[in-house]
Each structure stands twice: as C-alpha cells, then as structure tokens.
Amino acid sequence: MESHLRGQLWHASGGLVYHGRAWRYRNTLWAPFLQQVESWLEAWAPRPKQLLIVGPSAGYTLPAQWLSRFARIDILEPDPLARWLLEQRFPDCVFHAGDLDCFALDEGPMQLAHAYPHSAILFSNVIGQIFEGGPTPIWRAALQMAMRGRCWASYHDIASCHILPARRQVVTLPACSRLEDILPHFWDGREIAVYDHGCLDLADAQCAYGMWSITPRQHHIVGWCSNTEG
C-alpha cells in the first residue's frame, strides 16, 4: 500500500508563509546560504541524468544551472502554488510531479527507491521539517537501507533558534557528532536553547553544517550529507 500526497497550501514547513519569506529575503538574507547549497550540489555531481527532488517548494534554494544538467526532473511537492511557481521560475526545465508521500509510512523510503530506480534523489530541506522531533528510528533505518548503493543527498534542518549566531562558516564533522559538538561552531559555546529537528545521523557518513538565517530572528543549522554511488 502507498500513501499519496494531498494538496496543501498551509504546511508549516512550506506554503504561503514560506513563499512570503522567500520573496522578501531570497536575494538578501538568504544569499550566503543559497551560495552554500549551490557549492554542495556542484560537489555532489550525481552521475544519473534523472533527478527526483523531494520537497522542492518553488526551488528557492536550487540553482537553475545545476538543474539544467538533468534530462528529466521528477518532483514530490504537495503545495500546488509551489509547483506552479517552480515552473515559472525555471522555464527551461520540465518538472514531472508525482504523488507518492514517502514520509507517511515506515516503508516510504523503500517505495521511493522502487518508484524512481534510475534517479538521483535529493531531499531538499524537507526531512527536518516533516516529523515532529525528527524521523522515527524505523523510518530512518528504512531510509538508510533504501538509499544503500543509490546516488542521493539531503540538506535538512538540524537545530534552530532565535539567537543571532556568532559565526556562519561551514564545518564538516563525523557522522557520530552530537548537537553539543555542533552548536559551539556557530554560537561560540554560549548556553542556548535550540529546537532539535532530530536529523543528526541521518546518513552514516560525515556531514557538513551551514547556517541559514530564514528571517532576522530565526536561524537554522542545516546539515548536508550525500552519496555519489549508484
């Protein structure tokens, strides 16, 4: 049995609020993070000519030139406005929208891998936003199993808070790092309360961490992990 995406304009992680923020900050506050995502994507360099993007929204964090290297792009995105904006923002790309909800069931990652056997898979800042407190251990294990030998990557929220970070440089740390190891790289060892998005150890390889200030009062550590096999 598969679970299907239902159209939604008000999802907490996307929808109208997110489009408004993108419209306001994309060229200013977001610019350093967008550059960072571009360099992560360029370094990933997937071999497959087909790409599946999970949670693209309108592709605010995705570079047009990088997308243009793919012969086919599939997307899984429940927000109909986001899908329409995606087409307007990237007129040179054709996006094929699917309706598999890979987060709804424990077997979602397996269903995803089977539905798109020849595609590189990009989780585009979505895993840290879907599950309250992070993916369940079962879903996480299913993801690792489903992505074994596949070309895939994810950038996802790790921790967020309202306090302005002291530093914004990207750091690369081993897979077993704890939040206490990561926070001092951005907040200088100060005692701060953060919301833990529960996405540490999503992959069993090292992870890079960057800072995304989504608004002047909302700052997210975003993790990047990738695999080029497959």
Interface with ligand SAM, residue 225, by CB under 6 A: no
Kindly report the CA angle at 26 between 23 and 32, in degrees rounded to 5?
Answer: 170
CA-based Rg of the chain, rounded to a whole angstrom?
17
Q: Which residue has the tokens 């992070």?
A: 134
Question: What track of x and - describes contact with ligand SAM for positions 4 through 43 (by CB under 6 A)?
Answer: -x-----x-xx---x-------------------------
Residue 224 makes contact with ligand SAM by CB under 6 A: no
Contacts of ligand SAM in 194-213 (CB under 6 A): none
Query: Which CB sits closer to ligand SAM, 74 or 101?
Result: 101
Helices (H), 60-175: 64-67, 80-89, 108-115, 127-130, 137-146
Q: Give the residue, chosen from 33, 44, 70, 103, that forms a contact with ligand SAM under the rule CB under 6 A.
A: 103
Amino acid in position 3: S
Q: Shortest approach of ligand SAM to residue 8 CB, angstroms?
A: 6
Amino acid type, 221: I
In the complex with ligand SAM, the residue whose CB is nearer, 125 or 177, is: 125
Report the C-alpha gap between 182 and 190 in whole angstroms.
Answer: 12
Binding to ligand SAM, residues 43-82 (CB under 6 A): 54-57, 59-62, 76-79, 82
Residue 59 vs 109, nearer CB to ligand SAM: 59
Amino acid letter, 67 = L
Q: Which residue is nearest to ligand SAM (CB)?
A: 14
Q: How far apart are CA 73 and CA 57, in angstroms?
A: 14
- Strand 207-215 relative to strand 218-227: parallel, antiparallel, unpaired? antiparallel
Compose the 110-149 pattern: x for residues touching ligand SAM by CB under 6 A, - for all others. Answer: --------------xxx--xx-------------------
Nearest to 230 by CA among 124, 118, 131: 118
Instruction: Compute the least distance from the CB of residue 104 to ligand SAM, in Å.
Output: 7
Cβ atoms of 188 and 200 within 8 Å: the answer is no
**Quick one: 123 or 186, whose CB is closer to ligand SAM?**
123
Alpha carbon distance, N-terminus to C-terminus of the chain: 26
3-state secondary structure of 181: helix
Q: How far is the CB of 158 from ligand SAM (least distance, A)?
A: 14
- Note the residues at the interface with ligand SAM (CB under 6 A): 5, 11, 13-14, 18, 54-57, 59-62, 76-79, 82, 101, 103, 124-126, 129-130
